[in-house]
Amino acid sequence: MRRCCQGAGLPCLFKGVGMAGARQPRFLLVFDFDETIVDENSDDSVLRGRALPEPLRHSPAGGSYNEHMQRVLGYLGEQGVRPADFRAVYENIPLSPGMAELFQFLSKHQELLELVLISDANVFGIEAKLRAAGVRSLFRKIFSNPAGVDRRGFLTLGPYHGHRCPRCPPNMCKGKILGEYLQERAREDVEFQRVLYVGDGANDFCPAGTLTAADVAFPRKGYPMHRLIQERQEKQPGAFQAAVVPWESATEVARYLQELLRRKC
């Protein structure tokens, strides 16, 4: 079950958590990365100040942005830009407003909140930033496009997976990733009372649309995810089931979570 235990007519599982064999309910907290955890698009960050030839200055209309970035990284590698140079940029991308405070709060409640990250950026950059911020250990799993160093010493990028979702870019459907993760955890006998999703982009609207009435979507205020949710609510009242809590500072997310944990269920 992912609904509140008391709401389902059962005793709250938070009671007696110190007893042998007692099992605490868990909340799954899902984060995006670009313009959510960090306050910039990380691809823009690593390209800032670097000259690109005209064919690489803009991703082709209707083409795969992931494939475009593969070509961009290959070109930069040929110009002598090495993974260490990219890592230094990723490490210094600023966190979004209030995000450091939110992570401080989450570090105190790791027994109740399981964190995962789903991002269309890349694993190399995400790992670099999370480690630099001292928060990598908070995340149980990171789902992002694979990135590594080839035998030339170039940073390379690949697609995460294939899928059939018409709303998402061809290299990644976050809704599919979230659904498969919930299934995987259920097979491991871990089921969440609520899924809490923090994001900003249009590609976060797909997984947010799979949330239930027990869940919460935290769209960054004024960003595409927020606008798409508002449009869905206006055109199809009731079609978007999750509670919606827009945020400008991640401290607003922390306050909501604090109240959720205080209520226990």
What range defines the domain where residue 241 resides?
Answer: 27-39+94-148+159-263
Per-residue DSSP letter, 220:
B
Q: Which residue has the tokens 């995962």?
A: 116
State the average pLDDT for the chain.
90
Closest listed residue to residue 165, CA positions, set 123, 207, 194 = 207
The answer as to whether 235 is a domain residue is: yes
- 34 annotated active-site: yes
pLDDT at 42 exceeding the cut of 90? yes
Provide the pLDDT for residue 61: 77
What contacts 175, CB < 8 A, 6 or more positions away? 165, 168, 206, 207, 209, 210
Binding residues are 32, 34, 43, 120, 200
HSE toward the beta carbon, residue 202, CA cutoff 13 A? 5
Domain assignment of residue 137, yes or no = yes
Q: Does residue 107 fall inside a structural domain? A: yes
Annotated binding site for substrate: 43, 120
Give catalytic status of residue 150 as yes or no: no
| Position 52 in a domain | no
Q: Residue 169 domain-assigned?
A: yes
Which residues are registered as beta bridge partners of 194? Answer: 27
Structural domain includes residue 236: yes
DSSP string computed for 55-75 = GGSSPPTTS-HHHHHHHHHHH
pLDDT digits (tens, 9 = 90+) for 84-138: 999 999 999 999 999 999 999 999 999 999 999 999 999 999 999 999 999 999 9
Query: One of 34, 39, 44, 150 is an active-site residue; which one?
Result: 34
Helix, strand or coil for residue 136?
helix
Q: What is the pLDDT of residues 142-168, one digit of tens each?
A: 999 999 999 999 999 999 999 999 999
* Residue 24: predicted pLDDT: 52
| pTM (whole model) above 0.75 | yes
Within-domain flag for 45:
no
The reported pLDDT for the residue numbered 251 is 98
Quote the number of domains for the chain: 1
Q: Is residue 259 part of a domain?
A: yes
User: Which CATH number do you get for residue 113?
Assistant: 3.40.50.1000
